[in-house]
Chain A
Amino acid sequence: MRDYIIRRVLLLVPNLFILATLTFFLARVLPGDVALGLVAEDGSVINQEAVQVIRDRLGLNDPMPVQYARWMLQLLQGDLGKSDVSDISVVKVVAETAEVTFLLAILSVIIGAVMAIPFGILSAMMRGRWPDQVIRTFSAVFLALPNFWLGILLLLALVTWFSWSPPIFQETFLDAPVEQLQRLILPSIAIGTSFAAVATRLTRSTMLEVLNQDYIRTARAKGLFPNRVIVRHALPNAVLPVITLSALLFAGLLNGAVVLERIFALPGMGVEIVTATSERDFQLLQGLVLVLGAFVMVWMLLIDLLYVALDKRIQLE
C-alpha cells in the first residue's frame, strides 16, 4: 500500500507538468490577450498605446517559448504567479474561492446521496409498484431538468412565497456557518437533485442485482430480519457504484458549477476560471487549472484507497 501511494504521488509530478504545459499553450490558442481585455470595450479598442504598454509590462510581446520558460521557472520556484488583471496572487485567489467550491461540492454530494440511496432502495424493494413508478418518473424528470434552471426556480419560489432570498455577502463557514449554509443550500439542492436523479436509478438497479445474489438469499433463509439483510448485507455492495459516481461528481464540481455560482453570486473557482478565460488572464487561468488538477489527482487517489477499504476483494497492485 505504501509503495502504491508513493508511486501515485510521484506520478503527480509528470501529470502536473503535462497539465501545466497543455494549459499554457491551449490558453494561448484563444484570440486576444489580457491587454485587449483591459482596454477594449465592446467593439473598439480604447487606447492602442495602452495595449502595447500593458503587453510590455506583462511580457506578452515576448516569443511564446520565452513566456513558457518563464512560467516553468516560476513554477519550479513554487510561485503560481499573480493575476494579470488584479495583481492578486493565484494562491490568494485559490484560498478565497476554494471554501465555497468545496462546500458546494460536499453539500451537493451529501444532498444527492441522502435523496438517492433511500429512494433507490425503496424503488428496488417495491419494484413495479406505485412508489417505484413515482420515483422513476421523478428521477426521469429531474434528469431532464437543467440544474441551473431548477436553481432559478427554487430562488424565485422562495422569493415569491416566503420573501426570502439567500444572504448576499460572502463570509467564511467558520465565521458565519448559518449564513454560509443559507447561501449554499439552494445551489446544492439544485445540483444534488440532478445528481440524485442519476444515483437513484443506479442504486435501484444495483440493489436489484444484489438482492438476487445467493448470499442475500442465504441471509434471508437464515431468518435474518429484512431490514438487517438490506442494511448489513445488500447496501454495502449496492452503494459502491454510487460512491464512484459521487467521487466523480465531486471532482467535477471542484471545477465549478459555473452557472449556479453565477446565479447565486458565489465566488467559487468555477466563476474565477470563466472570468479569467474571458479576460484572457492567463496567469490566473494557468494557476487555477494547475491547482485544481492537483486537487483532482489527489482526490482520485483517495477514492482508490477508499475502494480498498470498502471492498476487500479489490487489490491496489
Chain B
Amino acid sequence: MSETLAGPGVSHFFHRRQKTEDKTFMKITVKLFASLRKDRFAIEKREYNPGQSVRDVLAGLDITEGEAAILFINSRHADPATILNEGDTLAVFPPVGGG
C-alpha cells in the first residue's frame, strides 16, 4: 500500500498528495453505491500509483472486502486482486438485490 493510501477512513482526503510524489499516477474513476456512499462519496476521479489493485483502493477507502460484494471495472466483474489500469472506472457495490 502506498503512503497516500495509508490511513483507513481518511486516506481519500489525501489522495491528491500522490501527484507531487509520483508523476506517473493513474487516473481512476471510483464510483460508490448504496450504503458505501455514507461518509464517503458517490463518484470521484482519483489518482493511484501504477500497479495498484482494487484491494488497495478499497483499503484506502476503509471498505472491507465483505462490504464490497460486487465490483466492476469498466462494466465487467472484477476481483479485489484485479490490477487497475490508467483510465479505468471502478464501481463498488455492497451486497444488493431486488427484481
Check if A and B associate.
Answer: no
Q: Which residues of A contact B (CB under 8 A)?
A: none
Q: Which residues of B contact A (CB under 8 A)?
A: none
